[in-house]
Amino acid sequence: MGGTTRRPGAAALAVAASLALGAPAVAADGAPAGAGSGDVAIPYRGSTTIDIAAPWRITDCGMPREAGPLVVGCDERSISLAAPDYDPEAPTTVVRVPLSDGRITTVAEYRVRLEGPETPSAEPGRTVRPATAGALLRLPVSELGVECAVCDAGGRLRAVAVHPAQAGSLWATPTHLVFRAAEGYTGPAELVFRFADDYGTWSPEGVVQASVVRGVGAPLVTSDLVVGLDDDGAELSLEELAFALGGDELVLVGCGTAIRGQVRCEADGTIGYQGDGGVDQFAVQVASTGGEQALASVTLVPADADADAEAGALRPGTAPIAKSKQGKQGVASAIAPRRPVEDHTGASGLLAPLLGTLDRVGAR
């Protein structure tokens, strides 16, 4: 929300010079002087100023104030502009400014527009996600690398494509991006998605790298739990999230980074969470001593979510995984992603320790 400044454009100075010479008034690009004196963008929900350089001064603040509420201040040296609210459909506002240098008078025109919020980003990283042929890979929103400045209402998630197409199918739910790997396919796959903010501005395409392999051991079954918070926290065990058929032992590889709170993973399979009481989410990477690996997830909801009719899919239980109609507008996300931050030195996902852990348990 920082302020910026603008000075009279070349068109205004060209007008003054042409008047002094008795020539027709034209802008610097040869267009008629009435074409305007510059473009000004007000930062998203912020402010900016148009500063007038000497020897010019504003002779009448009444004229620029006629432009409307975007003009919040005026004196002979500057005009202050502010837009505490944002409307993506707001038209350009023309602010007319009468100027004089003591000998020459002219009117400069500024075209003022509202600058939108930062475009959402979707950067899930380069980690290759393992997927078993014929099975589902369920990626929670918290693992998609989405950052969004204005997603207070959650935003929207859209599954775009799978490359190659024969690798499987892809869809979005309110809490996950879901990939069903084709039974007859093995090899690399790219899972393409986008995320939109509350104003409908879409991120560039995000790409999750996956590797579809044949199962090598007894199936490993995982869950996507929706858990009610207790005093803004929750405690779970690995056995609540996964089980291995055939008697193999479970291995807790690691926990992903929550969007809002802090996650604690213990070697004995205990998982703890502490947050601020709002909706949150994190992933849990699981392996078995038989060589299987899979992803589980935990979505945290306020303690009173059972009584909240609007919570819908976010009531305690399991997250919705079924394919839903999304169209070009995607699916309304029940998980508000991370806000952009300047410092990205924190944890970057849960799979960084995966290969080392699988090596220790002999799963590779």
Number of H helices, E strands in the chain: 4, 28
Looking at the structure, tell me whether residues 209 and 292 fall in a common domain: yes
CATH code of the domain covering residue 104: 2.60.40
Q: What are phi and psi of 114, to 5 degrees?
A: -90, 130
User: pLDDT at residue 86 above 80?
Assistant: yes
Single residue among 51, 83, 114 that ends a domain in this structure: 114
Please state, in angstroms and rounded to a whole number, the distance separating the CA atoms of residues 288 and 216: 11
Q: Per the structure, how many domains does the chain have?
A: 2
3-state helix, strand, coil in the chain (%, to 5): 15, 40, 45
Looking at the structure, tell me whether residues 214 and 264 fall in a common domain: yes
Q: State the pTM of this model.
A: 0.77
Single residue among 49, 80, 114 that ends a domain in this structure: 114
Looking at the structure, tell me whether residues 179 and 96 fall in a common domain: no
Looking at the structure, tell me whether residues 164 and 104 fall in a common domain: no
**Residue 186 neighbours by CB distance under 10 Å:** 15
Identify whether the C-beta of residue 233 lies closer than 8 Å to the C-beta of residue 272. yes
Looking at the structure, tell me whether residues 137 and 42 fall in a common domain: no
Looking at the structure, tell me whether residues 107 and 150 fall in a common domain: no
Please state, in angstroms and rounded to a whole number, the distance separating the CA atoms of residues 72 and 219: 65
Identify whether the C-beta of residue 340 lies closer than 8 Å to the C-beta of residue 267. no
Looking at the structure, tell me whether residues 177 and 233 fall in a common domain: yes
Summarize pLDDT for 182-214 with one digit per residue, the tens: 999 999 999 999 999 999 999 999 999 999 999
Summarize pLDDT for 15-55 with one digit per residue, the tens: 333 333 232 333 333 323 333 479 999 999 999 999 998 99
Looking at the structure, tell me whether residues 147 and 54 fall in a common domain: no
Identify whether the C-beta of residue 144 lies closer than 8 Å to the C-beta of residue 336. no
Looking at the structure, tell me whether residues 149 and 259 fall in a common domain: yes
HSE-up (13 A, CA, CB side) for residue 290: 17
Single residue among 80, 114, 148 that ends a domain in this structure: 114
Please state, in angstroms and rounded to a whole number, the distance separating the CA atoms of residues 123 and 128: 13
Q: So what's the pLDDT on residue 74?
A: 97
Among 197-211, 284-298, 350-364, the least confident range: 350-364
Of residues 93 and 305, more confidently modeled = 93
Looking at the structure, tell me whether residues 147 and 276 fall in a common domain: yes
Going by C-beta distance under 8 Å and a sequence separation of 6 or more, which residues neighbour residue 15?
25, 26, 27, 33, 106, 108
71-74: strand order across its sheet = 5-6, 47-51, 78-82, 71-74
Looking at the structure, tell me whether residues 19 and 93 fall in a common domain: yes
Looking at the structure, tell me whether residues 204 and 331 fall in a common domain: yes
Q: What are phi and psi of 343, to 5 degrees?
A: -100, 115
Domain of 302, in residue numbers:
121-340+347-360
Q: So what's the pLDDT on residue 245?
A: 82
